[in-house]
Amino acid sequence: MVVLPWTRRVRLGVLRAEMQRHLRLAMEADLKNLFGDCELGAIPPLGPAYGMETVWDESLENVPEVYFEAGDHEELVRIDGKTFLGLLGSARHGIFSAHI
C-alpha cells in the first residue's frame, strides 16, 4: 500500500526503483478480497492494520492533520499528522510523488 496526500500522484517508476521490484496500480476489483470490511473506494490508508506492506510519501511528514475515509463513504476520520504516521509504524518512506 502506498500512502500519499490526495494532492499528489505516485511516480510509479521512482517507487519501483526504490522498492527494487515490479509494481503496478491495483484495480478496485483487486482490492475487494483484501479489504472485505470496506466499501470500494473507501479503504483507509492503514496498511499495517491489514498486515500489508506499506510505504508512505515524505510529503506527509509535516502535515498538521490527516483526513481519510473509515471504510465507508459516510464516515471521515480526522487525526493529528504525527499520530497518523505513528499508526503506520515502521513502514518505509521516501519521496516518490509529484503534485497533480
Find where cell 509504524 sits: 89
Q: Where are the beta strands (DSSP E) in the chain?
A: 2-3, 8-10, 55-57, 65-69, 76-80, 92-94, 97-99
Query: How is the chain split into domains, by residue range?
Result: 2-99
Q: How many CB atoms lie within 10 A of CB 76?
A: 11
In whole angstroms, give the CA distance from residue 51 to residue 37. 14
Q: What number is the average pLDDT over the span 46-64?
A: 96
> Could you give the maximum distance between any two Cα atoms of the chain, in Å?
37
Q: What is the pTM of this model?
A: 0.92
pLDDT at residue 46 is higher than 90: yes
**pLDDT tens-digit readout, 59-76:** 999 999 999 999 999 999
For domain 2-99, the CATH class is alpha beta
> Considering the chain, what is the average pLDDT of its residues?
95
Give the per-residue pLDDT at 61: 96
Is residue 23 within 8 A of residue 53, CB to CB? The reply is no
